[in-house]
Structure 1
């Protein structure tokens, strides 16, 4: 049987194959008479040697699972040495040393390493003290010690490599878990961002639709009513388009999907026209050069803040109220200001949940900017400062 096929077997089957092969080789060695390690010292018949061999091969089936298998094998080795050491028993015993070091507990493995080191000192001291011819005794010890040192060193090295591999696998598992947690956090953050987008877009359009529809119901001029209803339809179509794009993004996980381009300040005129159709007098001043592109995230953030501020102005400003939109780019800052008059008392429909203001602050924080909102004179002011870097062509 080849080594790869043997390794593919379950552990107990591997041990059975090894034990059977060892027993067969041992029988052949005893039958050939080349088993004697000390030629002049052999007082056991072959059947006793075969009995020792069978006992050791039977214990090999337990060496991986039973910690006491090494002690039983040591007892067999002691009997064999008493009868005259034989090659098969000594060789098989090295497998028990190997198995105890590799498969035993960590404490057992450390003990085996210590025993192997101690055996070197003990054997050398013994042969020097008891040997009649010290040169011969030392040569015999040097020839015997590898049977103890080699299997223990080999098993300890394999165990160390296996522990390193286990540690690497554990680290890889931890890294994979961390990566999965990071992915989930990123998905949650992205869903939160999309929820804010959806709130800003739909709330803005629906608020404009509600206000413009109310205004259309009170108009007696058919042409003016038609203009207002056209703005209502435009807001409805925009809301549906934005919602379809958002749903497409949610459905397109891991696939390519056609989506609409993100809104930019270049499209601010649509918001202004919608606010004017709601009955507001909107004045816009901007120093932003449309030919100089802004960072996409900042451009979208500025647009959404202006959208939310105009939506709130439509809710809180009186009919025909003045709204001033001021957008400036200076010293690496994009400043967006929306100032509007406030009704006294505010209309019942104007009371909201505060989500819009929170979303504006979160958007500004996300790009490293700041946002303030509060009373300003007789009105309300929303002011955002978003870092974009110096305009092109500005001296540094």
Structure 2
């Protein structure tokens, strides 16, 4: 199995063609190749049969790269085989070409192949009935069509559906992984900025006070002190506090740096909402966005919190209602920024986001805390068959003291 997976598409087609030719050859040599046994006239020599089998097997070499072309070209040896008397090997190989057209063709090509073969099969059965006036032969023609055409179409459609489902699931998993990674990186960046603010407000404030007080003490002495040790101690205190402030400034700058965030972390701003929408659409969600904040200045803290709230709500929708529609509405009123995210509830659960037997999920708690930190209001819950998240944030965030700027 591992060796088969390691083969290229062309290599796999070569193996399939060789195997089909070997199986067909065995059927010819064993005499189990005729679809209809007739006692009228001599049977066709095997040499032309092997030639037709080789032709249709050669067409298999392009069954993945050009499935529709292979199916059409394969009609030539199939027609000659039909004129000489239909044989099982050629028809089996050609049924693989029908299967390949359904699996590897584009969606439009697949639909065309299915409609064409169903129409052709029904027409062939009608022609048999009109020419022979024997309904038994018509039923036999339908059975042969079902065996060689119907089975290939059914199996190809089943395999294609599984392939498309697997591809959609992989895309959704990649999108969810990307969203989780962006969320983790944003959380780390927020934590670093919080640490920088704490260092600035507490430690830097104390160091500044020490520097100022030691400077004042030195100025008060004004060279009148007879104790040189006291002057030296005050000078050392001031020097160390100033150097500490310089080092603290460097540390705070490092903590506030995003490093490679420009490349790996989506900026937490409403201006980058299109990136979040693109990720959700890659996961199979149908997202509609209505945004109207023109003419209303949005404070930086409110802008970041609004983006994070929408990101959390969309992530919840991707987890609990995959493949559904998500409506995002952002509009500004006189002094308020209103965020609304709505998606249909899954039929199996009236409120999948908040299980009745557990506490409020962490995602909803984060959104509620972000809203409360800015003095806004937050609501979430089922509403008329939809899960609705709404946050109302003040356009101008309340200023927070950060101490003396460094």
| CA-CA distance at 1:202 after TM superposition | 4.0
Please name the residue that 1:48 is paired with.
Answer: 48
Bigger drift between 79-88 and 25-34 goes to 25-34
CA deviation profile, 1:336-363 (whole Å, cap 9, x unmatched): xxxxxxxxxxxxxxxxxxxxxxxxxxxx
Change (3 A) 1:115 1:4: farther
| CA-CA distance at 1:114 after TM superposition | 1.1
CA deviation profile, 1:59-94 (whole Å, cap 9, x unmatched): 111222234121111111011101111111111110
| CA-CA distance at 1:101 after TM superposition | 1.1
Compute the TM-score of the two structures, normalised by the length of structure 2: 0.54
Change (3 A) 1:206 1:146: same
* Counterpart Cα distance in 2 of 1:100 and 1:372: 65
Q: 1:154-173 maps to which residues of 2 (within 5 A)?
A: 154-173=155-174
Say if 2:124 and 2:141, in contact at 8 Å, map to a contact too.
Answer: no
CA deviation profile, 1:217-254 (whole Å, cap 9, x unmatched): 2147899x79x959x69x959x79x96xx79x97xxxx
| CA-CA distance at 1:365 after TM superposition | 9.4
Q: 1:348-363 maps to which residues of 2 (within 5 A)?
A: none
Say if 2:374 and 2:398, in contact at 8 Å, map to a contact too.
Answer: no
Change (3 A) 1:372 1:46: closer
| CA-CA distance at 1:24 after TM superposition | 1.8
* Counterpart Cα distance in 1 of 2:217 and 2:154: 93
* Counterpart Cα distance in 1 of 2:205 and 2:134: 105
| CA-CA distance at 1:141 after TM superposition | 2.4
Say if 2:27 and 2:33, in contact at 8 Å, map to a contact too.
Answer: yes
Per the alignment, in what secondary structure is the counterpart of residue 35 of structure 1? coil
Say if 1:127 and 1:138, in contact at 8 Å, map to a contact too.
Answer: no
* Counterpart Cα distance in 1 of 2:157 and 2:118: 13
CA deviation profile, 1:193-224 (whole Å, cap 9, x unmatched): 2222222234312321222112322147899x
* Counterpart Cα distance in 2 of 1:203 and 1:145: 83
* Counterpart Cα distance in 1 of 2:121 and 2:206: 88
Q: 1:188-267 maps to which residues of 2 (within 5 A)?
A: 188-217=189-218, 218-219=220-221
* Counterpart Cα distance in 1 of 2:197 and 2:371: 13
Say if 1:212 and 1:229, in contact at 8 Å, map to a contact too.
Answer: no
| CA-CA distance at 1:109 after TM superposition | 0.8
CA deviation profile, 1:129-187 (whole Å, cap 9, x unmatched): 23332124313422332200111111111111111111111122222222222223222
Per the alignment, in what secondary structure is the counterpart of residue 62 of structure 2? coil
* Corresponding residue pairs, total: 257
The yes-or-no answer on 1:33 pairing with 2:31 is yes
Per the alignment, in what secondary structure is the counterpart of residue 96 of structure 2? helix
Per the alignment, in what secondary structure is the counterpart of residue 85 of structure 1? coil
The yes-or-no answer on 1:16 pairing with 2:17 is no
Cα-Cα RMSD = 4.0
Change (3 A) 1:208 1:24: same
Change (3 A) 1:20 1:147: same
State the structure with more CA Rg: 1
Please name the residue that 2:177 is paired with.
Answer: 176
CA deviation profile, 1:294-351 (whole Å, cap 9, x unmatched): xxxxxxxxxxxxxxxxxxxxxxxxxxxxxxxxxxxxxxxxxxxxxxxxxxxxxxxxxx
| CA-CA distance at 1:367 after TM superposition | 4.1
The yes-or-no answer on 1:88 pairing with 2:89 is yes
Unmatched 5+ residue regions in structure 1?
251-363, 374-381, 383-396
| CA-CA distance at 1:371 after TM superposition | 6.3
* Counterpart Cα distance in 2 of 1:195 and 1:60: 65
Say if 1:98 and 1:151, in contact at 8 Å, map to a contact too.
Answer: yes
Q: Which has the higher contact order (CA 8 A, sep 6+)?
A: 2
* Counterpart Cα distance in 2 of 1:46 and 1:372: 93
Q: 1:49-88 maps to which residues of 2 (within 5 A)?
A: 49-66=49-66, 67-88=68-89
Q: 1:142-161 maps to which residues of 2 (within 5 A)?
A: 142-161=143-162
Compute the TM-score of the two structures, normalised by the length of structure 1: 0.55
Say if 1:52 and 1:76, in contact at 8 Å, map to a contact too.
Answer: yes
